[in-house]
Structure 1
């Protein structure tokens, strides 16, 4: 690639700045993102101009539009820090990550509640079983005497007699 004229470089920079403003406002073409690749495509330039160049002697120099790429990245970062996401996919990803975290917390809480209710159910079943066994034991006759283990009330000889006030 040969040298470009100053006029062409200015036109390219103006095109890059115009594309940068559109992207940062959220005006993205279908399939485009808010990144350097899309910025270069929107401006109609080769994106390699945004990156450092290595001379044949091994020295590294800035790309012709690297200062604009740095400005784009700074402005995009400032928007992100302000809570504005010009790329709707980035906003959707952020929203879905937050929703995912909320759902994970909900699962943890529900799992704890299920464990607590399972333990309560187990305790209740144990108590019901113990009560049933006690009732069964009390209803069955004693093996040594053949009589139930409860005391029998017998009638008082001579009929019913009230002793004292019933009020």
Structure 2
């Protein structure tokens, strides 16, 4: 069924009004900023926007305007904006996690080295004490005296 020029103009006006609302971020419940929602909001069949159909040029205009908004960093669909924000946050968190993992690994290596040094020092002390106990030429020193410095009376 053919439509009249007046109907075509009315449809194009509805499409443009719906397009403007969607691109401003006025997304209806259950919709997205896409052709399917645009067709539903304009009360038209979605197939009218594809191929050589009468409103294909408006689909191209909508996609071009949506792409330019995305390129400018303005995302009209709040879900898409949230997805982009969450992707950015995930990237930052992955970087923080990698940094934390490397720090933990470095600290574990340091702990292992410190324990190895302490073990070697302990073994050396035990060895020297055993050697000193078996030698008669080592004289034990008396315990240190503690001197209290007091007031003169």
Alignment TM-score > 0.5, same fold: yes
Matches within 5 A, 1:132-147: 132-141=122-131, 147=134
2:77 aligned residue (80, 87, 92): 87
CA RMSD, Structure 1 to Structure 2 (Å) = 1.6
Query: Which has the larger share of helix?
Result: 2
The normalised TM-score by structure 2 is: 0.87
- Which structure exhibits the higher relative contact order, with contacts defined as CA atoms closer than 8 Å and separated by 6 or more residues? 2
Match of 1:103 among 93, 115, 118: 93
> 2:120 maps to what in 1?
130
Give the greater-gyration-radius structure (CA): 1
Identify the range of structure 1 (133-142 vs 8-17) with the bigger mean alpha-carbon deviation: 133-142
- When residues 68 and 10 of structure 1 are mapped into structure 2, their CA distance, relative to the original with a 3 A threshold, is same
Per the alignment, in what secondary structure is the counterpart of residue 140 of structure 1? helix
Aligned residue in 1 for 2:144: none
Instruction: Show CA shifts across 1:78-135 (max 9, x none).
Output: 1111110000001000000000000000111011111111110000000000000011
Unaligned runs of 5+ in 2: 141-153
TM-score normalised to structure 1 length: 0.80
What CA distance in whole angstroms lies between the structure 2 residues aligned with 1:27 and 1:120?
A: 57
Length, aligned pairs only: 140
